[in-house]
Amino acid sequence: MMFGQGGPAKVFVATRPVDFRKGIDGLALAVQEMLGLDPFCGAVFVVRSKRADRIKLLRWDQTGMGLVHKRLEGGKFVWPQVRDGVMRISPAQMAALFEGLDWRLVRPERAAPAGGGTIAWGRWKLLFLLARTGVS
């Protein structure tokens, strides 16, 4: 899930929860002060609530700042260990996170090029190892 136009954006995840009463301006300021990043660079910034059942995505798309808010009805978002800082994830990992899935299980898929040859890394694909079903 990437909102706005253009190709895949850089995705930065704040590892500490933020005050979820903040709107666009407050979150943009938090990106600058807490993460030391420019909220107008075109990247997607992801923050979570203290309870980890809600996330907000913030992105500048050259015409304005966009904000998406999602609340999971059952469960919590999988989040990196809480510490000061920020981490970068791939757009594919962001898509898994947004769906409430474990983004840590997103891996690149190996694909053989057309016509044979050596194995090359293909496009990103979600590979969820479901321990209950034994599917890999």
Say if CB 121 and CB 108 are below 8 A apart: yes
φ/ψ region of 116 (left if φ > 0, alpha if ψ in -120 to 50, else beta) reads left
Distance between CA 134 and CA 122 in Å, rounded?
24
| pLDDT score of 129 | 32
Say if CB 56 and CB 69 are below 8 A apart: yes
Distance between CA 132 and CA 112 in Å, rounded?
30
- How many domains is the chain partitioned into structurally? 1
CA neighbor of 102 nearest in space, from 82, 75, 132: 75
Residue with the larger pLDDT of the pair 50 and 108: 50
| Domain-located, residue 26 | yes
What 8-state DSSP symbol labels residue 103?
Answer: G
CA neighbor of 41 nearest in space, from 59, 64, 23: 59
| Domain-located, residue 40 | yes
Q: What angle do CA 113, 96, 19 make, to 5 degrees?
A: 145
Q: What is the pTM of this model?
A: 0.75
Distance between CA 3 and CA 92 in Å, rounded?
13
Task: Show the domain range for 34.
Answer: 11-101
| pLDDT score of 5 | 52
pLDDT-based confidence at residue 9 (cuts at 50, 70, 90)? confident
| Domain-located, residue 54 | yes
| Domain-located, residue 107 | no
Q: List, for residues 67-77, the tens digit of each pLDDT value.
A: 999 999 989 99
> Tokens for 78?
């999988």
| Domain-located, residue 115 | no
Q: List, for residues 14-45, the tens digit of each pLDDT value.
A: 999 999 999 999 999 999 999 999 999 999 99
| Domain-located, residue 106 | no
